[in-house]
Chains A and B, each alone.
Chain A
């Protein structure tokens, strides 16, 4: 089987801007999102939801163009056959049970009754909501409403999932199950685009991140790649070894090392260096000269640090 053309496996934004009157939504966004889990990270008002709404034609770009696997968002009959969106809106058509909500949504696809019933049941089971399926959504807890929205997004087995804060309101167990489901879907070659404020979760689940601030994309790509691009912040490396003081003395010979801080337990140190590659080569050399190095790990090669360096504030929890 021949693989699809590259354009048909990517979500692309080409110089996209969106203004709400004089208020900036997003500006000059150019992105190319491959399959896998992509996290949109940024403080409130940074443009995460606008970016998702642009992808799904809930809002239109003021300028630029968007393509989802080769389809423009203004072909809903094609787009939503392969895209599911769990929005931030916590409102549902009135008077429906969870099952009726998913079933009615599937009927809009023009699918026959039995198939809709089957798909609705499958989706509800997948988000572990089978017991509450025939209860009115109005009586659901926040976590259940979040799950029923997720069920709606996955019910038609889409190739692209867009999820706005999908883990909000979920308890730890369901949160873990949901993350596992995202991973499973990503492993099947689908796009899972998630916005989140909770950085350690983003770190754990993302294949790539898109950092947004004030409507601009400030960084995108794999977290390690993004971190290495931030040259004005020295890389932090955590080292556990038998002689940390000796190691500190040796590494200070290197110009790129700007700081070495000993751990209070005397079993390791934190190094800050402007050239990580050069430092790792030096470390190999040192290891051959009598200092036993137990572990070496980057200390700020994560979303939290990247976020702090680029955006400069802790995201709102």
Chain B
């Protein structure tokens, strides 16, 4: 075993690949994927700050006591409610041919109460604590698990890792590596490390920026944000999905096909038997997410299913499981790479 030589060769492959993965035009959309949630949370932060300022200057001075607000019961009359609570800070009316819907919003200074009337009779009240960090943390957890892991990192890894081999076959430059005295296994390792560095840098930076944006309105601490956990899960997602899409780039002429199959497999994970669940990336990642979004009463059942792991696994086991799946896929990739041929015309 010539570990020293192999490490030097892996470093050489990584050096060559970094330029391609970070600066390739073909990978531009990966940056857009990573930047999109940062922009989303930036927009949200601006909106929250502005509405908070408006609330503090325009609404808070008209606060009503909490006791008065909570004394209003369903079935109450619109005129009675207005007579008891005074003029609302917001009124919305929807008039159809047969019915009218009215929403009156009040505040006690920190929470907002929205009363919904149908034809002048109170049907329901929704309350929102404007400064409740826990609610927003849950929103972020849902976003992270449902969109960021399952879609953005997933497709980002498709863009980065599939191109490690497939992109070079399309450029007709893969033979450059195959004519060097490098074991194919070492080549796979070098390319994977390069892809992992690129994906981790891009997506972990995105996660950190999202959390920072998210924290600004709440002045939240790093600990309360579980920043290290989220960034760790992001890196592990790059590791797991990266190995899968590197393998896909080795076998498939059109990488969209394996990407679609993996996407379906990951989505179907929730409905699979316990043994099959473990042969997926999302199973382990969900178990590692710091805030498990509990299904709310009025949450869409499908969404509730998606954001909750039915069988959460202890963190250590989840990490080991993910590493095992990754190692398995990379071993298979190395085996395939040994049989790899250069036949650009048919690729």
Contact = CB atoms under 8 A, between A and B. Distances in A.
Interface of A: 20, 53, 56-60, 74, 76-81, 84-85, 87, 89, 91-95, 104-105, 107-110
Central interface residue in B15, B181, B338, B344, by most chain A CB within 10 Å: B181
B17 to A, nearest CB: 9
A100 B24 CA distance: 17
A81 B341 contact: no
B179 A78 contact: no
Nearest to A85: B179
A56 B12 CA distance: 21
A58 B175 contact: yes
A108 B178 contact: no
B342 interface: yes
Contacts of A85: 179
B176 A105 contact: yes
B175 A93 contact: no
Given A87-B175, A93-B20, A58 B183 contact: no
Contacts of A77: 181-183
Contacts of A57: 178
B343 interface: yes
A56 B5 CA distance: 22
Given A58-B341, A59-B342, A94-B24, A108 B171 contact: no
25 contacts: A20-B343, A53-B342, A58-B175, A58-B179, A59-B343, A74-B338, A76-B182, A78-B181, A81-B181, A85-B179, A89-B175, A89-B344, A93-B16, A94-B20, A94-B171, A94-B173, A104-B12, A107-B12, A108-B13, A108-B177, A108-B180, A108-B181, A109-B181, A110-B5, A110-B8
A284 B9 CA distance: 66
Central interface residue in A81, A87, A93, A108, by most chain B CB within 10 Å: A108
B22 to A, nearest CB: 11
Given A93-B176, A107-B12, A108-B12, A59 B341 contact: yes
Interface of B: 5, 8-9, 12-13, 15-16, 19-20, 23-24, 171-173, 175-184, 338-339, 341-344, 346
Central interface residue in B183, B338, B341, by most chain A CB within 10 Å: B341
A78 B183 CA distance: 9
Nearest to A110: B8
Contact of B178 (A20, A76, A91, A109): A76
Contact of B182 (A58, A89, A108): A108
Given A85-B179, A89-B175, 12 more contacts: A53-B342, A58-B341, A59-B342, A74-B338, A76-B184, A80-B182, A94-B24, A104-B12, A107-B12, A108-B13, A109-B180, A110-B12
A93 B173 contact: yes
Contacts of A20: 343, 346
A92 B173 contact: yes
Which DSSP category, helix, strand, loop or mixed, fits chain B's interface? helix
Nearest to A57: B178
B181 A80 contact: yes
Central interface residue in A56, A60, A76, by most chain B CB within 10 Å: A76
A108 B175 contact: no
B299 to A, nearest CB: 48
A136 to B, nearest CB: 13
A105 B175 contact: no
A74 B177 CA distance: 14
A114 to B, nearest CB: 14
A80 B178 CA distance: 9
B169 to A, nearest CB: 10
Given A92-B173, A95-B23, A60 B181 contact: no
Given A58-B341, A104-B12, A104-B15, A91 B180 contact: no
Nearest to A91: B172
Contact of A108 (B9, B172, B338): B9
Central interface residue in B15, B177, B178, B179, by most chain A CB within 10 Å: B179
A112 to B, nearest CB: 8
B183 A60 contact: no
List of 6 A-B pairs having minimum Cβ-Cβ separation, nearest first: A108-B180, A91-B172, A107-B12, A80-B181, A110-B8, A58-B342
B16 to A, nearest CB: 5
A110 B9 contact: yes
Contacts of A105: 176, 180
Central interface residue in A78, A104, A110, by most chain B CB within 10 Å: A110
A104 B16 contact: yes
A20 B341 CA distance: 11
